[in-house]
Amino acid sequence: EAGVVQSPRYKIIEKKQPVAFWCNPISGHNTLYWYRQNLGQGPELLIRYENEEAVDDSQLPKDRFSAERLKGVDSTLKIQPAELGDSAVYLCASSLEQVYNEQFFGPGTRLTVL
């Protein structure tokens, strides 16, 4: 069974540029999460989807971040414009639609903003 797929693995951009991250969850997983992991920290939830609905986006900085999950499968997280402080690893995870089922994490996208 394929795991959670994320691309790109690495991205270097200059500040004020836009950037997008893509995630393909495990087949059949209705719940999808985007996390941000700053250097030396644990992951912090940005947004959670149940199918195509964003059910928790309270931690998403909506002035510059946006996300979508069309058709309830793949998801894209976008930053526009990027700031220096956005440099981090962006992790995608998925799980079955049951409370406290294991979250399966992708390898992440390491973003560097210059």
Binding positions for another protein, rule: CB under 8 A: 3-4, 31, 33, 40-45, 48, 56, 91, 93, 95, 99-100, 102-108
Task: Write down the least CB distance from residue 86 to another protein, Å.
Answer: 19
Give the Cα separation of 108 and 90 in Å (integer): 5
Residue 37 CB, shortest distance to another protein, in Å, is: 8
Q: Which is nearer to another protein, 82 or 91 (CB)?
A: 91
Residue 46 and residue 39 in contact, taking contact as beta carbons nearer than 8 Å: no
In the complex, least distance from residue 16 CB atom to another protein, rounded to whole angstroms: 28
In 29-105, DSSP assigns E strands to 31-37, 44-50, 53-56, 65-68, 75-79, 88-95, 104-105
